[in-house]
Amino acid sequence: MDDTSKKLVEIQHLKQYFPVAGSSILSRTYVKAVDDVSFFIRKGQTLGLVGESGCGKTTTGRTLLQLYEPTAGRIIYDGNVIFDSGNVPLYDENGKPVLDGEGKPVLGKKTKVNMLPYRRKMQIVFQDPYASLDPRMTVGDIVGEAIDIHKLASSKAERRDKIITMLERVGLNSEHANRYPHEFSGGQRQRVGIARALAVDPEFIVCDEPISALDVSIQAQVINMLEDLQREFGLTYLFIAHDLSVVKHISTKIGVMYLGKLVEMADSYELTFHSCHPYTRSLISAIPIADPITSRNSKRIVLQGDIPSPVNPPSGCHFRTRCPYADKLCAEAEPKWGKVGEGHWCACHHLDRVD
Amino acid sequence: MSEHLVDIKNERLSFFTPAGEVKALNDVSLYLEDGEVLGIVGESGSGKSVTSYSIMGITADPGRIIGGTVEFNGHHIEKLSEKEMRKIRGKEVSMIFQDPMTSLNPVYTIGNQIEEAILLHTDKSKAEARERAVELLRLVGINEPEKRIKQYPHELSGGMRQRVMIAIALACEPKLLIADEPTTALDVTIQAQILELIMELKEKLGMAVILITHDLGIVSSMCDRIAVMYAGKVIECGSTDDIFYTPKHEYTRGLLRSVPRLDEKESQRLVAIEGTPVDMLNPPAGCPFAPRCPKCMKICLREMPPYTYFSDIHYSACWLNQKEEFENAGKEES
Amino acid sequence: MDIKKNFLSLQLKADDFIPATEEEKQSLVIMRESVGFWKDGLRRLVKNKVAMVSLVFIVIIMFFSFVVPSFYPYSYEQQQKGAENLFPMKYSANELQRIEEGEKVFPHFLGTDKLGRDYAVRVMVGSRISLTVGLVAAVIILVIGSLYGSIAAFFGGWVDIIMMRIVDIIYTIPDVLLIVLLSFALKAPLKALSATQGFKWIGVVGPNLVSIFIVFALLYWVGMARIVRSQVLVLRESEYVTAARALGANNSRIVRKHLLTNCIGTLIVTTTLQIPSSIFTESYLSFLGLGVAVPLPSLGSLASSAINGMNTYPYLLIAPAVLISLIILSFNLFGDGLRDAFDPKMKK
């Protein structure tokens, strides 16, 4: 794909901290759900975010859409800064920090725009097709809600036509418009969820685990549909999932998250076949392959231990408690996000030792 | 008396709901040998859990076995009373579930819960049971078992809880372990740990395992034989290699094609199975897969296909296989 | 051999093996008839025998208390000289004489009380008062409780904390004490108010009844507020509300289109279940002499005044007491039926 197409979405040093439920109001403790994550997505491409539960991938997607107010960081959409907490350095087009006369980094201006116009450009598809559709609304009204909010139809007939167009675009028909969500199967509901996101003609869609609640035989339908829609309308996706094989299939680039931080990011081929971070490697090796001979012959790296609680992550490198290469340095210092190849970034102290 | 450990023959089980009869199991036959690992693959509502629950003698409320026999270890399960069943459950056959949080009682320590399982089926003293509980926790790979035994379920992580569930299931060294989606609620790296543990324990204790899952990757590495279920019917059954390399049912083929593989170099478009799952309240008259089948024939719409045998253990219910037989028979005659 | 048997029994033909057309395949997929939320719930409700019997009973009671008294030959305050303390179906000397003269005299089904008032009509009017109190109180509680609860839940944070602490405080106030205090404190101002034009009705229903309503308005909405709050708290976090936010919906739209419509089931059920408890409260207050003003009867005050002659005239006590129980029971059972039908999540 085209590596020179413009950056459509970019986040810089995004942080999202949530107060821990039950912690006292006076001395709040925080979960660092997303902790200093930066990436960009080029127009028409798909960035996949993978990681295990509690790694912050879903929160990243939702914060990016400002469904939560970010704790800190900058969000840029199509060249416009739509959020800036005012305490992160500015960057030029090449990704170098902008410096002032004394060589100190210049900080961005505090910004928070009205999101309503951007809601037409950035949309989201949810994981749970049961919980994400209002059970009291007909499918037509669910898809039509965006049309009502943004006043995209001037008459009832036009609204109806638009709804039917959207339903047909996702493989449903006009007969389905008057039915309620509970009458549909999981796969059909997910199609309704996608039709709702498409109703505003968006450019960018966050797909938040769109297939993990679906039956295996339905997953491929939805993946194919997402790919077709991307091709037809030039959509840009942020595809969030815990299943690396699906993410690898659909994504141009993949970012791997662990306890609120990005640990590795590369083109999807590069990441699956030439990963550097020990976590990415064990993640890849842990995925069972649907082929008896391959899986009999492959040696798995089984990670020991559990994922630490995100409320109280380990010091230094968050992965060190489960990492076979961990030493004193990993406990003391946080590894730097460094370039290891063309478009391949990784945060690990011991890249030289990971063979 | 059957020579198999588990022998289900023509089981029919229906749920009588207010909206009508749901034929959850429609003429299901399955068997399992001692020490064998059988994978049951299927989507939600295919009857994979219901089948294995009936080996435990558990049928959820509006459900009733309305035909066929379920034999396990010499017992005719479908004829046993609840009281007799309780003696078998936990002792000869145990089960682990998808969600380790809801299957552990939050108000007892994990030690209490393991001991309870031991005391229920053996005449061990309390002290002996405690000792055995520690031993079991060590067996399932929990470090510092003496300390853990005093903890409550909420103090453990999901993977740990599943290990405790396994320890409880293995308390009386059952002949059969039923694992119902044991790793669906767990993360991939934890899933790998649990699967490895189940295989290790199976070797150590020599028990048979029924592994229920929707993940083809998991069955490919763990199972000796696989049964594929669709809409309350076993549509194909065979050795793991049979199912993966010479599938004979269009649904099995479709499933294998529709899963993206991590080890493929180029991303190819997935081949999806079109259509939606069967509405179990209004199943089609013929083959339940017919409306979604790319090679559907006239007869598939009318008649349920019979099984065609390709070897002693590999069989499938599809009219396409019968078509070959039919054509061959026709050629011989002429 | 299995195969051969099948061949014989099924008589396969070569035609059977030609591919089926797309239409033939699709004809197998029948989508069930579309069922909306209300229709579905109604269907479940109609199937519930206990709820339907209760509903019929409620309708009958309503008919007798709101419609029948208006054309009943006796009125509730009409005293008949010489007809005091009649047993059921008995006539006074005066009436017997009229019957002999060929006049038709409407019987006293439940006899008369010690002032010679027909007891049957008094019981009917009494249940009218009780039902009115129940219904009006339920509406007051519904409006105040749901508004309060949803505001607390929707805004959350400090607003929620302060508003719910107020609820906790109200919970700790003993209600009977407050009613006694209020009815004393409000007596004078309400009397003064009833003298002014447009507020005459206060005098008719009695200041006590009005203060009961005020107490309901002040105290009993807290339960409703808590239920609504917890419901809205859950709904607010639901994915479809997040989806609506992502589409750009503002707060008012989310409340109107998503939160309210999804609360309605709970609101109806809780309100219906509130009616019997309000009726009960009114009855025991009237029984204690804190309810409606004489000569207006309510089921509680009827029972209270019947206590004195309990041994001689037990039916004077039994009639209102049984009616109270039946009204409360049928509203409760009907409410349970509604809950099972419209709010299956609340079951258990």
Average pLDDT over chain B reads 88
Is residue C21 included in any domain, yes or no? no
Query: What CATH number corresponds to the domain at position A250?
Result: 3.40.50.300
Residues C85, C97 within the same domain: yes
CB proximity C253 to A under 8 Å: yes
Q: Which residues of chain A have pLDDT under 50?
A: 1
Q: How confident is the model at residue B332 (pLDDT cuts 50, 70, 90)?
A: low
Range of the domain at C97: 79-116
**Those residues with Cβ within 8 angstroms of residue B79's Cβ, 6 or more apart along the chain or in another chain:** none
Same domain, C101 and C140: no
| Phi, psi (degrees; rounded to nearest 5) at A244 | -65, -30
Could you tell me if C170 and C310 lie in one domain?
A: yes
Helix (H) or strand (E) holding A192: helix A186-198
Is residue C268 located within the same domain as residue C141? yes
Best mutation site among B10, B29, B296 for testing chain C: the one with the most C CBs within 10 Å? Answer: B296
Question: How far, in Å, CA of A255 to CA of A265, rounded?
Answer: 4
* Residue A141 pLDDT: 93
Residue C29 has pLDDT above 60, yes or no: yes
Please indicate, yes or no, whether residues C163 and C95 belong to a single structural domain of this protein: no
Q: Is residue C7 domain-resident?
A: no
Shortest Cα distance, chain A CAs vs residue C46, angstroms: 21
Edge-to-edge, what's the strand order for the sheet holding A46-50?
A: A122-125, A204-208, A236-241, A46-50, A253-258, A261-267, A344-347, A337-341
- pLDDT of the residue at C22: 74
Q: Which helix (H) or strand (E) holds B42?
A: none
Distance CA(C41)–CA(C26), nearest Å, equals 30
Peptide bond between residue A129 and the one before it cis (omega within 30 degrees of 0): no
Answer whether residue C8 shows pLDDT above 50: no
Q: Among A208, A41, A243, which residue's Cα sits nearest to residue A128?
A: A208
Tell me which of C293 and A153 has the higher pLDDT. A153
pLDDT of amino acid C150 = 87
> Which residue in B44, B221, B262 is closest to A244 by CB distance?
B262
Could you tell me if residue A57 is inside a domain? yes
**B297 vs C19: CB contact, 8 Å cut-off?**
yes
Mean pLDDT value of segment B161-190: 88
Give the contacts of A127 (CB within 8 A, at least 6 positions apart).
A58, A208, A209, A210, A212, A213, C239
Residue of C nearest to A185 (CA): C31
| Interchain CB distance below 8 Å, B291 and C28 | yes
H helix or E strand, kind and range, residue B249: none
Query: What pLDDT was estimated at residue A25?
Result: 65
For residue A62, list chain C residues with Cβ-Cβ distance below 8 A: 242
Tokens of C151: 């505001």
Residue A52 distance to chain B (closest CA, Å): 6
User: Does residue A72 fall inside a structural domain?
Assistant: yes
Q: What are phi and psi of C88, to 5 degrees?
A: -55, 140
Return the residue matching tokens 């020490």.
B35
The Cα C331–Cα C31 span in angstroms is 38
Residue C95, pLDDT score: 79
In tens, the pLDDT along B12-51 reads: 998 888 778 888 898 899 999 999 999 999 888 888 889 9
On whether residue C22 sits in a domain, the answer given is no
Percent above pLDDT 70 for chain C: 91
Do both C327 and C224 map to the same domain? yes
Other chains touching A, judged by 3 or more CB pairs under 8 Å? B, C
For B237-250, the pLDDT digits (tens) are: 999 999 999 999 99
* Domain limit, last residue, from C61, C90, C116: C116
Residues in chain B closer than 8 A to C32 (CB atoms): 279, 281-282
Residue recorded with tokens 């961005």: A108
Residue B251 has pLDDT above 90, yes or no: yes
- Residues B132-148: pLDDT tens digits? 999 999 888 888 888 88
Binned at pLDDT 50, 70 and 90, residue C309 comes out as confident
C196/C121 same-domain check: yes
CB-CB under 8 Å, B193 with A290? no
**Residue A169 counted as domain residue:** no
> Could you tell me if residue A246 is inside a domain?
yes
Please tell me the pTM assigned to this model. 0.84
- Which residue from B minimizes the CA distance to C5? B306
> Which are the contacts of B170, defined by CB distance < 8 A and separation ≥ 6?
B94, B136, B139, B140, B177, B201, B205
Residues 6+ apart with CB under 8 A from B21: B14, B15
Taking an 8 Å cut-off on Cβ atoms, the answer to whether C253 and A149 are in contact is yes
Q: Which residues of B1-24 are buried (b: 16+ CB within 10 A; e: fewer)?
A: eeebbbbbeebbbbbeeeeeebbb
Q: Looking at beta carbons, which residues of chain C come within 8 Å of A134?
A: 240, 244, 257-258, 261-262
Q: What average pLDDT score do residues B293-303 get? A: 87
Note whether C112 and C170 are same-domain residues. no
Handedness of CA B71, B74, B78, B84 (dihedral sign): negative
Query: Could you give the CA distance from residue B59 to residue B47 in angstroms, rounded to a whole number?
Result: 12
CA B252/CA B230 separation, integer angstroms: 10
Domain boundary among C95, C116, C137: C116
Is C10 inside any structural domain?
A: no
Nearest to A187 among B187, B218, B276 (CB): B276
Residues 151-180, chain B, touching A (beta carbon < 8 A): 157, 159-160
Residue C275 has pLDDT above 80, yes or no: yes
Contacts of C254 in chain A (CB under 8 A): none
Q: How far is Cα A127 from Cα A133, in angstroms, rounded to an integer?
A: 11
Distance between CA atoms of C187 and C212, rounded to whole angstroms? Answer: 12
Predicted local distance difference test score (pLDDT) of residue B334 = 57
Q: Which residues of A touch C (CB under 8 A)?
A: 62, 65, 67, 115-116, 119-120, 122-124, 126-128, 131-137, 145-146, 149-150, 175, 178-180, 183, 193, 196, 200
Tell whether C266 and C326 lie within a shared domain: yes
Whether residues C164 and C112 fall in one domain: no
> CB atoms < 10 A from the CB of A163, how many?
25
Is the sign of the CA dihedral C241, C242, C246, C248 positive or negative? positive
Is position C93 within any domain?
yes
Residue A283 domain boundaries:
3-121+203-353
Residues C84 and C186 in one domain: no
| pLDDT tens sequence across C60-92 | 999 988 888 888 888 887 787 777 777 777 777
User: What is the Cα–Cα distance from C333 to C319, expressed in whole angstroms?
Assistant: 21
Q: CATH no. for residue C236?
A: 1.10.3720.10
Mutate to test the interface with A, among C34, C44, C240, C266 (most CBs of A within 10 A): C240
* pLDDT, tens only, B302-326: 888 989 999 999 999 998 888 877 7
User: Quick check: C105 and C60 in contact, CB under 8 A?
Assistant: no
Domain count, chain A: 1
Query: What phi, psi does B244 have (nearest 5°)?
Result: -80, -35
C109, C130: one domain: no
Domain count, chain C: 2
Predicted confidence at residue C5, as pLDDT, reads 44
Q: Cα–Cα distance between B51 and B7 in angstroms, integer?
A: 11
3-state helix, strand, coil in chain C (%, to 5): 75, 0, 25
Helix or strand holding residue B255 (H, E): helix B250-258
Local confidence band at C32 (pLDDT 50, 70, 90 cut-offs): low
Q: What percent of chain B has pLDDT over 90?
A: 29
